[in-house]
Amino acid sequence: MAAPLIARVLVDSPLPQLDRLFDYNVPESLATDIQPGIRVRVPLRSAGRIADGYVIELTDHADGGYTGVLSDVEGIVSTVPVLAPEVAILARKAADRAAGSAIDIVRVAVPTRQARVEKAWLAAERGEVLPVVTALPLEGYPAGEIESAIAGMGRLAIDAIPLVTEVAAGVWVGRWATTLAAAATRAIAAGGSAILAVPDYRDQEQLAAALAAVLPPERIVRLDAKQSKPDRYRALLRCLGDEPLAIIGNRSVVYSPAKSLGLIAVWDDGDPLHTEPLAPYVHTRDAALLRQEQQGCALLFVGHSRSTEVERLVEIGWVTSVSPTPAVRPKIIPTAQQAATDRLAAQARIPSTAWRGAREALETGPVLVQVARPGYAPRLACVDCGQSARCLRCEGPLAQKSATAIPACAWCGALATNWHCANCEGTKLRQVGAGGASRTAEDLGRAFPGVRVIVADGERPVLSVDSSPALVIATRGAEPVAAGGYRAVLLLDGERMVARESLRVAEDCLRWWSNAVALSARGAPSYLVGVGGAIAGALTTWRQADFARSELADRRRLRFPPAVRVATLTGTIAAVAKAVTDLPVPSADVLGPVETGPGTVRTIVRFDYSAGTEIASSRGADGARLVEQAERLGIDRPQIRDDRIEVAEERVDDVVAAGERQLGHAAR
């Protein structure tokens, strides 16, 4: 009889207690097919209860800590090693950093199996030799700087070139996309795959077009959440081959299998879409940093603005900042909110300089107008008493989608027919504050008669526009790419965007504006309306990194993320107190507790990065774990008051829920 074959299995269970490897005996009948990375079915506790899991490793000796009798692996779900070893290691590391479960990461990393797709893939011939890829130079940057970083596993923070470029007849993309594409060709030419992570499908379309221009289609894999399940699974299977590929997608793409990984590039890491909404909420940037260290590939953070997180990495010397040479500085004109001479322009809340600039630009091509909100009248109030109008069903705010639409609830969608004011019984509504994209479009249409008006927002996505004159009204982040670039850009709702209450407002605004400005043609004017101060200065001088540096300095002074890491503890007073006294690190400071409900409190723990490992793995006698949630928390509307951080009301539920998930097992 040969040595026993033992499979170490990560069980697919949401229970944090099961977040470790279990040993199972491999019966003879499965011995030939079993291998690390495949999905298996294993018994758990009382016979009859069967769980799915992944084989992490095969061994001939049981884990020393367990002396009981091993159960047999029940069966093999699929012989395809969908959880690549490097991804299993990454999942473990990412989970440890965020005090979460590895299986939660694996669920994001491995798409659901599609038997038909798998069958076709297994039957298909493999080992075909793909065409040779030429390594392209990184044009517009200091010669050799990015190239040598890619060759030498370097880490860079790259300021993107704020221009658009044509990658195929009539196909225009942001210049950043060709930078990423060129970087990918270098990794692939050197024999490594490139993982390219973008925040949303808009960016992905641009990147896909840029890649298609420089790589054969067999070298490009799309792996994103928008795909159908079969497409996602097919894409994952393609990544399992030996040939280096460019793998593009949104945040989950950082977990795609890539045995020989040459490069990870993250576009616009400040975009909140890079934050994974599923526990343990690992950000693309953090997963990328872990994977870079683990697999020794190159790592590029590319963006028009710099996140405070990446700025921190630059300051501690972990990543190196690279700027375009020669410098490309867009022409930005800050304009105070002065009354325009033209009545119609004034109605459209456009200052006269911006109005003149837009009128002139409209003679030669498209003009972009960035607004804060979609719809027509985003806020409505009672004509008689001025109270904001609330839904009669759910108390949600009422808004109007178009000039002719019946006002409806922004939360539950109920139409506000027969509406009456809860305060004064009035029945007439009026708009409050500036209008949304549709209203702006209407106003601007009047101010510029005869000009084509295009509205682009979440509901009416427009990816690109041609080079003929048009007013393109877009909500922030939804701006289409214009052929040849916009001849002028109007950043209209700056004031409103800056007024948002969040720890990251300034950073976010600068990012939204910079991304819009980067869509302009070379030399075209961009008008920032109604915003002054340091943030306007940072945009006009195009010195986003400097702004990030001063933001980070402020956060350091206040001990806010990302200067420090933040965890929350929510639970019964006793459980939280116990967990706090059990903190393994004296450098951690504790804010609160604040009451979050009957008998429950929330405490925010701030600690230095160096303490992260100890904090994340700390367990009190009650089993409490701290979770880093700086991102998740956001700490909206930060205020230090009586030495406490108050969290905006709308986020309290999130915080409590997250804390309770952590302490759910602590309470037992």
| Smallest distance from DNA to CB 122, Å | 29
- What values do phi and psi take at 40, rounded to 5? -130, 165
| Smallest distance from DNA to CB 48, Å | 7
Residue of 17, 134, 468, 639 interacting with DNA (CB under 7 A): 17
Secondary structure (3-state) at 534: helix
By C-beta, is 44 or 517 nearer to DNA? 44
Alpha-carbon gap, residue 251 to 226, rounded angstroms: 12
By C-beta, is 56 or 288 nearer to DNA? 56
Is 98 within 8 Å of 281 (Cβ atoms)? yes
Which residues lie below 8 Å from residue 203, measured CB to CB, with a gap of 6+? 177, 267, 268
Q: 632-652: string of b/e by CB count within 10 Å (b at 16+)?
A: bbbbbbbeeeeeebebbeebb
| Identity at 66, one-letter amino acid code | Y
Handedness of CA 430, 435, 441, 445 (dihedral sign): positive
| Smallest distance from DNA to CB 11, Å | 8
- What values do phi and psi take at 90, rounded to 5? -60, -40
By C-beta, is 65 or 317 nearer to DNA? 65
Residue of 15, 50, 573, 657 interacting with DNA (CB under 7 A): 15
List 453's β-bridge partners, or say none.
471
Secondary structure (3-state) at 596: strand
| Identity at 586, one-letter amino acid code | P
| Identity at 100, one-letter amino acid code | G
Task: Looking at 23-79, list the stretches that DSSP marks H as alpha helix, in order from N- to C-terminal side.
Answer: 28-31
Residue of 25, 78, 260, 572 interacting with DNA (CB under 7 A): 25
Rounded to whole angstroms, the maximal C-alpha distance in the chain is 95
Alpha-carbon gap, residue 498 to 502, rounded angstroms: 9
Residue of 36, 41, 43, 460 interacting with DNA (CB under 7 A): 43
| Smallest distance from DNA to CB 67, Å | 9
Stretch near DNA under the rule CB under 7 A, chosen from 36-44, 114-122, 239-247, 641-649: 36-44
Residue of 10, 26, 38, 44 interacting with DNA (CB under 7 A): 44
Which residues lie below 8 Å from residue 540, measured CB to CB, with a gap of 6+? 332, 333, 334, 528
- Residues 47-76 contacting DNA, CB under 7 A: 49, 62-63, 65-66, 68-71
Stretch near DNA under the rule CB under 7 A, chosen from 44-52, 335-343, 350-358, 521-529: 44-52
Q: Mask 231-270, x = binds DNA (CB under 7 A)?
A: ----------------------------------------
CA distance readout (Å), 404 to 36, 61, 90, 458, 473: 60, 73, 53, 20, 19
Is 342 within 8 Å of 444 (Cβ atoms)? no
Total residues binding DNA (CB under 7 A): 23
| Smallest distance from DNA to CB 73, Å | 9
Provide the 10 A C-beta neighbour count for residue 402: 14
Alpha-carbon gap, residue 205 to 221, rounded angstroms: 13
Stretch near DNA under the rule CB under 7 A, chosen from 41-49, 275-283, 395-403, 550-558: 41-49
Residue of 22, 176, 281, 512 interacting with DNA (CB under 7 A): 22
Alpha-carbon gap, residue 523 to 217, rounded angstroms: 35
Binding flag, residue 666, DNA (CB under 7 A): no
Residue of 1, 2, 45, 124 interacting with DNA (CB under 7 A): 45
By C-beta, is 584 or 623 nearer to DNA? 623
Stretch near DNA under the rule CB under 7 A, chosen from 21-29, 100-108, 126-134, 350-358: 21-29
Give the strand pairing for 261-267 and 470-475: unpaired
By C-beta, is 15 or 385 nearer to DNA? 15
Residue of 5, 23, 85, 543 interacting with DNA (CB under 7 A): 23
Alpha-carbon gap, residue 24 to 43, rounded angstroms: 9
By C-beta, is 25 or 294 nearer to DNA? 25
- Residues 626-665 contacting DNA, CB under 7 A: 664
| Smallest distance from DNA to CB 39, Å | 17
| Smallest distance from DNA to CB 663, Å | 12
| Smallest distance from DNA to CB 61, Å | 12
By C-beta, is 53 or 484 nearer to DNA? 53
By C-beta, is 641 or 668 nearer to DNA? 668
Looking up tokens 């028009």 gives 304
Q: Which residues would be at the binding site for DNA (CB under 7 A)? A: 15, 17-18, 22-25, 42-46, 49, 62-63, 65-66, 68-71, 664, 668
